[in-house]
Amino acid sequence: METFWPLFFVCLGEIFELKAELNSDKKEKKKEAVKKVIASMTVGKDVSALFPDVVNCMQTDNLELKKLVYLYLMNYAKSQPDMAIMAVNTFVKDCEDPNPLIRALAVRTMGCIRVDKITEYLCEPLRKCLKDEDPYVRKTAAVCVAKLHDINAQLVEDQGFLDTLKDLISDSNPMVVANAVAALSEIAESHPNSNLLDLNPQTINKLLTALNECTEWGQIFILDCLANYTPRDDRESQSICERVTPRLSHANSAVVLSAVKVLMKFMEMLPKDLDYYGTLLKKLAPPLVTLLSAEPELQYVALRNINLIVQRRPEILKHEMKVFFVKYNDPIYVKLEKLDIMIRLASQANIAQVLAELKEYATEVDVDFVRKAVRAIGRCAIKVEQSAERCVSTLLDLIQTKVNYVVQEAIVVIKDIFRKYPNKYESVIATLCENLDSLDEPEARAAMIWIVGEYAERIDNADELLESFLEGFHDESTQVQLQLLTAIVKLFLKKPTETQELVQQVLSLATQDSDNPDLRDRGYIYWRLLSTDPVAAKEVVLAEKPLISEETDLIEPTLLEELICHIGTLASVYHKPPSAFVEGSRGVQHKRLPGSAGSGESVESPDTGSAAGVSDAPPAVIPSQGDLLGDLLNLDLTPPATTGPPPPATSGMQLGAMDLLGGGLDSLLGGDLGGSSAMGAGFGAPPAAPAASFSAPVSGGLDDLFDLGGGVGMPMGAYSPPKTVWLPAMKGKGLEISGTFARRAGVIQMEMTLTNKAMSVMTDFAIQFNRNSFGLAPAGPLQVLTPLSPNQSIEVTLPLNTVGPVMKMDPLNNLQVAVKNNIDVFYFSCQYPISMLFVEDGKMERQVFLATWKDISNDNEAQFQIKDCHLSSDAASNKLQGSNIFTIAKRTVDGQDMLYQSTKLSNGIWVLAELRVQTGNPTFTVCLKCRAPEVSQCVFQSYEAVLKN
């Protein structure tokens, strides 16, 4: 039930009392009773029970009583439709009343009762009233058509009311014309394509005549309607302008602004050399200024519109800068708008004044306003070149105040000034650096980091400064992290010698320790760039940046044109086209300014500000922080929130990066493996420098302590290093993985301990390897069948095979692994002992051994020493055999045992070895010969590991 107020119950006694009074035969008592009923109604009491009694009072010649009953009816008819019918007869009768006021009131009230049964009865009286002899009745009836249309549009069309309404535009009475226009405009809004307001020179003339004589509100409706008309030529345009101009002196600001709209639009058609054109321009300024002395709410709407007008025709208000100076007690929403317009009007002529004002504002109380004022100074510097120096010194003055938010804003805008005027103001960098510690807002930090990176060669301690930011890398916002990454890469490219460590650190932080896809992507891109082609990296990262120009937020010209056509409307306040916010099926026509007269071209620009803006390319805009970095790289970074497989990329560089992440992720998520291996083509040599960060800790002396089971129980078994932590819980969102590799009974196994150190249960584990040197791949899925509860650990053994895709890694035994669970995907890398790959049938025939030994050139021979090994040659031989290194022959020369050994890798590579053991000397010498000498280092490591354990 729709009522005015939340319902209160009225006590029954009160209802009875009112009922009695309503049925009293004394007129005065009746009226007082109805008043009491209305009063109860307005404070939310439910008096609908009195419906029949109140309706009975309707038949009266007392106008006040009638009006009160109507108020009641309008409120309750909807909830009591059956009883509302009782009123119909009186309505119909009243529509015939000799008093025009009663006729109008009846038709007006009927239109407000949104009950179908009443609406049916409305048509006949309405038709009569539309043709009533009294204009007061006609104008009321015109509005009633709009009401009826809102309730039942079809009915209005079927009954032909629209045509009658159109006829009223030619009515002799101006108020009737105005109301007919208003009603038609409202109806037209829900019928965007109907040609309801068919404007032709005759109707325009009628409207212009009515304009002078109707009320202020009527003038608004007529002016808004006129604005939709497109004159045939410049002469018609001028004559309309002439007749509309007097409205600029109206006391009602809405009339003024609607008149401004008509003039701004029709002016487009006037030739610019016409005297009248200049006169008109001059006439527009004073009324706009006057709007600013009205109430603040009116000022706000006026300012939003002036903002548009100034962009389209800056010449109108170019001498009126001072009226936009901010007053101490302006509401904040007025202050901010004024500031915006001040910057739009700033020019070489008035910049001194503007700067003095802005500096004044920077000491105001309101923080938002102060910030915007500081920003405004920066925008002035970019807009008016001659003022840049003064702006910079003003900003430096402000930085000296040490007011925290002022300093931060100043640094943000100085960054833009650097971009606009390169190599001009860098001398202030030292001052900026002094304030490094006080910056706590991401935007300011990012700006400062950008400056340090960009001018690294001029800042002696750039590396120290950047390093200081790096400490809390993970606590920074993405904006700062990205900027820091780029800045350090810039620094590295400029001063490669001292900053290698720093760049490695940031790349590893960005690629391995971060879960932000943007950051990781960019980290990998830099990494790959640096490792494959540092020259190219330099060209990309340190490329010349396009200069920024003009203002940050000029409205795009076509939108501006459309908005100019909507001056005075909500669109002009939001600075959005109506299509962007008008609801649903409502009429949305894109309005365009009419073309200039005289020439065939639609846009011609004899004056500076207007049409020039349309034909020119849109001015460059200072990109936001994120965009800026994108620009620097000239790369289209993949959107951060992509969940599906990444789109096919074309550049090799991206391919590599995608393979590492996308491809792996793909197959993890059940995508096809074939696709990912095909993409691998672009993957080049692994990066040299940063790879260090990938290396897992090599097993050390502590191993013995942990390797109890292996050491005692299976002395002859293959050597397996103790477990090390591969994925710390911090980087795995609570998932810790430690593990090792083993070869048991000819099967390579990855043995892992998964520990849940998070607060929630982990499920859905899966694992995937990146391509590696020996084609290691899981032989089956990761068997974690039960969910892993918090603080629970589970041992998993994953059998591996060596039939996976191959790619040479550095170091050779490096393995990149992705583990997925319900929370995320984690990446880590580990190194496996190459002895895992030594196969059981690695014992070579003696002859073959001899022949092969001779056959392999001495270039492929590598010699290593193993120190502190207290084993006899036999014991060593035994140990090595457990790891599938087979002794083929042994000879002793001068107390030195020479063991000739062979071993075969899973991919068929043979390695031949000569192990020299001198009794009493703990230092062994290993001499390795292999057709693929790259493996020698790894094999030696295995020798060492096996012999020492």
Partner 1 sequence: MINSLFLISHSGDIFLEKHWKSVISRSVCDYFLEAKEKAGDPENVAPVLQTPHHYLISIYRGKLFFLSVTQTEVPPLFVIEFLHRVADTFQDYFGDCSEVVIKENTVTVYELLEEMLDNGFPLATESNVLKEMIRPPTILRSVVNTLTGGSNVGGTLPTGQLSNVPWRRAGVKYTNNEAYFDVIEEIDAILDKSGTTVFAEIQGVVEACVKLTGMPDLTLSFMNPRLLDDVSFHPCVRFKRWESERVLSFIPPDGNFRLMSYHVSSQNLVAIPVYVKQNISFLETGSCGRLDITIGPKQTMGKSVENLTVTIPMPKSVLSVNLTATQGTYTFDLTTKVVLWDVGKLNPQKLPNLRGSISIQTGSPKPEENPSINIGLQIQQLAISGLKVSRLDMYGEKYKPFKGVKYVTKAGKFQVRT
In the window 344-403, what residues touch partner 1 (CB under 8 A)? 356-357, 360, 363-365, 401, 403
8 Å CB contact between 621 and 546: no
Distance CA 816, CA 835 (A): 18
Full DSSP string of 381-438 = HHH-GGGHHHHHHHHHHHHHT--HHHHHHHHHHHHHHHHHSTTTSGGGHHHHHHTGGG
Contact range with partner 1 by CB under 8 A, out of 521-529, 577-585, 634-642, 773-781: 577-585
Residues forming beta bridges with residue 865, ordered by sequence position: 925
569 lies in the site for partner 1, by CB under 8 A: yes
Nearest to partner 1 of 70, 765 (CB atom): 70
Full DSSP string of 11-59 = PHHHHHHHHHHHT-S-HHHHHHHHHHHHHHHHTTB--GGGHHHHHHTTS
Distance CA 845, CA 912 (A): 12
Nearest to partner 1 of 19, 250 (CB atom): 250
586 lies in the site for partner 1, by CB under 8 A: yes
Distance CA 372, CA 375 (A): 5
Centre a 10 Å sphere on the Cβ of residue 507 and count the other Cβ atoms it contains.
Answer: 25
User: Of 9, 12, 13, 43, which lies in the binding site for partner 1, with binding defined by CB under 8 A?
Assistant: 43
8 Å CB contact between 492 and 455: no
- Angstrom distances, CA of residue 302 to CA of 221, 249, 361: 18, 15, 22
* Count of residues near partner 1 by CB under 8 A: 98
Contact range with partner 1 by CB under 8 A, out of 248-256, 633-641, 675-683, 732-740: 248-256
Give me the sign of the Cα torsion angle 674, 679, 682, 686: negative
8 Å CB contact between 285 and 316: yes
Which 761-800 residues touch partner 1, going by CB under 8 A?
none
CB of 19 to partner 1, least distance (A): 19
Contact range with partner 1 by CB under 8 A, out of 56-64, 525-533, 836-844, 882-890: 56-64
CB of 811 to partner 1, least distance (A): 58
CB of 562 to partner 1, least distance (A): 13
Upper half-sphere CA count for residue 923 (Cβ side, 13 Å): 3
Alpha helix stretches (DSSP H) within 152-173: 153-158, 161-167
Nearest to partner 1 of 28, 464 (CB atom): 28
User: Of 230, 252, 760, 925, which lies in the binding site for partner 1, with binding defined by CB under 8 A?
Assistant: 252
CB of 810 to partner 1, least distance (A): 57
Buried b (16+ CB within 10 A) or exposed e, 221-259: bbbbbbbebebeebebbbbbbebbbebbebeebbbbbbb
CB of 92 to partner 1, least distance (A): 20
Kindly write out the interface string for residues 649-688 of this chain, putting x where it contacts partner 1 by CB under 8 A and - elsewhere.
----------------------------------------
CB of 102 to partner 1, least distance (A): 9
Which 703-732 residues touch partner 1, going by CB under 8 A?
none
User: Of 11, 12, 251, 716, which lies in the binding site for partner 1, with binding defined by CB under 8 A?
Assistant: 251
Nearest to partner 1 of 569, 906 (CB atom): 569
CB of 581 to partner 1, least distance (A): 7
CB of 557 to partner 1, least distance (A): 22
Contact range with partner 1 by CB under 8 A, out of 486-494, 507-515, 530-538, 571-579: 571-579
Interior CA angle at 744 toward 738 and 749, to 5°?
35
Kindly write out the interface string for residues 143-172 of this chain, putting x where it contacts partner 1 by CB under 8 A and - elsewhere.
xx-xx--x----------------------
Which 502-531 residues touch partner 1, going by CB under 8 A?
none
- Residue for token pair 């982990």: 762
CB of 302 to partner 1, least distance (A): 7
- Residue for token pair 């590799």: 741
The edge-to-edge listing of strands for the beta sheet with 924-930 is 861-866, 924-930, 910-918, 896-904, 886-893
Token duo for residue 91: 């309505």
CB of 172 to partner 1, least distance (A): 11
CB of 331 to partner 1, least distance (A): 5
Distance CA 625, CA 480 (A): 9
End-to-end CA gap in the chain:
87
Which 403-432 residues touch partner 1, going by CB under 8 A?
403
Contact range with partner 1 by CB under 8 A, out of 2-10, 385-393, 517-525, 669-677: 2-10
Nearest to partner 1 of 174, 663 (CB atom): 174
User: Of 20, 23, 52, 63, which lies in the binding site for partner 1, with binding defined by CB under 8 A?
Assistant: 63
Nearest to partner 1 of 170, 401 (CB atom): 401
25 lies in the site for partner 1, by CB under 8 A: no
Distance CA 400, CA 404 (A): 10
Distance CA 126, CA 122 (A): 6
Which 274-333 residues touch partner 1, going by CB under 8 A?
286-287, 289-290, 293, 295-298, 300-302, 319-320, 322-323, 325, 327-329, 331-333
Token duo for residue 242: 């002439």
Which 188-227 residues touch partner 1, going by CB under 8 A?
189, 213, 215-217, 220, 224
User: Of 24, 89, 99, 865, which lies in the binding site for partner 1, with binding defined by CB under 8 A?
Assistant: 99
Nearest to partner 1 of 307, 596 (CB atom): 307
Nearest to partner 1 of 11, 365 (CB atom): 365
Give me the sign of the Cα torsion angle 616, 618, 620, 622: positive
CB of 175 to partner 1, least distance (A): 6
27 lies in the site for partner 1, by CB under 8 A: yes
User: Of 573, 612, 689, 777, which lies in the binding site for partner 1, with binding defined by CB under 8 A?
Assistant: 573
CA-nearest of 53, 60, 10, 63 to 33 is: 53
Give me the sign of the Cα torsion angle 507, 509, 512, 516: negative
Residues 6+ apart with CB under 8 A from 213: 174
Distance CA 542, CA 491 (A): 10
Nearest to partner 1 of 268, 357 (CB atom): 357
User: Of 50, 54, 91, 111, which lies in the binding site for partner 1, with binding defined by CB under 8 A?
Assistant: 111
Contact range with partner 1 by CB under 8 A, out of 134-142, 489-497, 667-675, 760-768: 134-142
Buried b (16+ CB within 10 A) or exposed e, 676-689: bbebbebbeebbee
Upper half-sphere CA count for residue 137 (Cβ side, 13 Å): 23
Distance CA 895, CA 788 (A): 58
Contact range with partner 1 by CB under 8 A, out of 33-41, 164-172, 452-460, 667-675: 33-41
CB of 388 to partner 1, least distance (A): 23
Nearest to partner 1 of 108, 538 (CB atom): 108
CB of 139 to partner 1, least distance (A): 8
Nearest to partner 1 of 59, 290 (CB atom): 290
Nearest to partner 1 of 98, 639 (CB atom): 98
Contact range with partner 1 by CB under 8 A, out of 97-105, 161-169, 498-506, 901-909: 97-105
Token duo for residue 125: 């009286």
